[in-house]
Amino acid sequence: MNADDIAAIVVSYRSAATIDACLRHLRAARDVVQIRVVDNGSDDGTMECVQRHAAADPRIRFVANPDNPGFAVGCNQGANDSDAPWLAFVNPDLMVATDDLARLRDDARLLGEALVGADLVDESGDHDPAARRRDPDFAAMLRNPAMRVLSVASNGEPLQRVAAVSGALMLMSRALFERIDGFDQEYRLHAEDLDLCRRVRAAGAIVAIDNSVVVTHLRGVSSRSRPIFVEWHKHRGLWRYFRKFDAVDHGIATRVLVFAMVWARFPLAAMRAMARAG
């Protein structure tokens, strides 16, 4: 195994619309020596496509979970099934260019010990606001609804330190991943990336985004098949994040109000997600 080698970890769920293109891009990516696809019980032809790629490329191995244990579990499974010194977590609706992952690896090396993400755009070229974020401050959100916006603008520098990047594309060393015990598997969907980034920083490492690496992300392809399920676990994840990191610093009244704020938003968010899926 070479010190530059990268393992790409893809967690899929009903990703037939994009997984073929995603894997073609990963197979062409520089320094990617292992590709691990962890499928969470897809029933739409995703696994058939993955199997065709695996038959053509020995770098690809897959885990076919019989159910959907969640994104965090799948990421840890893929990492544990590989042994490359660098880990890239790549959504199945993400299309990396040939040098993208190698450039992020070089960024992480330059920073010393770091988790690095990229600028993400959709098919229309619109930027994903989740690509660079600050930590959520739920108590502050109670006083000022504007604090619910977590996105951070680009500072114009190629390599920008931020609190969190999007879980759609994250690269870090295996050593750092193992030092922080990987993803917290108590999250099912959403907020596990915020959690991981916060623990990376707590461990003394850096979280950064390379604003010069722009990657196409066809957002929400898997989520559209089960919008209410996704929104439920998104809100559950946010509540877990608050309980894990911040609840201890607040009294019972604030905790109750944060709980109410998070879950009062769920019905409207679910209706909006259903409308988008329809």
Can you state the angle between helices 192-202 and 227-245, rounded to 10 degrees? 30
Average pLDDT value over all residues in the chain? 92
pTM as predicted:
0.92
Which pLDDT band, with edges at 50, 70 and 90, does 107 fall under? very high
d(C-alpha 225, C-alpha 104), whole Å: 31
pLDDT tens per residue, range 59-71: 999 999 999 899 9
Q: In percent, how much of the chain has pLDDT > 90?
A: 79
Residue (of 265, 270, 194, 234) closest to 257 by Cα position: 265
Q: What is the SS3 assignment for 42?
A: coil
Residue (of 224, 242, 105) closest to 176 by Cα position: 105
238-271: buried (b, 16+ CB within 10 Å) or exposed (e) per residue? bbbbbebbbbeebeeebbeebeebbeeebeebbe
- The answer on pLDDT for 221 being more than 60 is no
How many CB atoms lie under 10 A from the CB of residue 193? 26
Write down the pLDDT at residue 184.
97
Write down the pLDDT at residue 228.
75
Residue 273 CB contacts under 8 Å (≥ 6 apart), including other chains: 223, 227, 228, 230, 231
In this structure, of 62-71, 188-197, 259-268, the range with the lowest mean pLDDT score is 259-268
- The answer on pLDDT for 128 being more than 60 is yes
Of 115 and 124, the one with more pLDDT: 115
